[in-house]
Amino acid sequence: FPNPIVDDTFTIQYTSPVTQQAKVSMFNQDGTLNLQTELTVLSGSNSLVFGTDNMDNGTYILVFTPMTSGGPATTRIVIDR
């Protein structure tokens, strides 16, 4: 959230069953990778904040992939500043 993104940050809220590594990737509509990072999510509730100041307005596909437990999640994100 928020979606659409109207400033320079967005937040992913994720509840993890275990402490684990996760990967966050964002692709533009052409399939070009615009953001990718690996991070540690803790067991329980997590709020992960990401910046979009180097990304243009447009529609992106966000993929959140926990590495140990849980499956990947994909959603559409719109940046409209």
pTM over 0.85: yes
Residues 17-60 pLDDT 10s? 999 999 999 999 999 999 999 999 999 999 999 999 889 999 99
Q: Is the CA virtual torsion 51, 15, 75, 71 positive or negative?
A: positive
Which residues have C-beta within 8 Å of that of residue 24, sequence separation ≥ 6? 12, 35, 36, 37, 38, 39, 48, 50, 62, 63, 64, 65
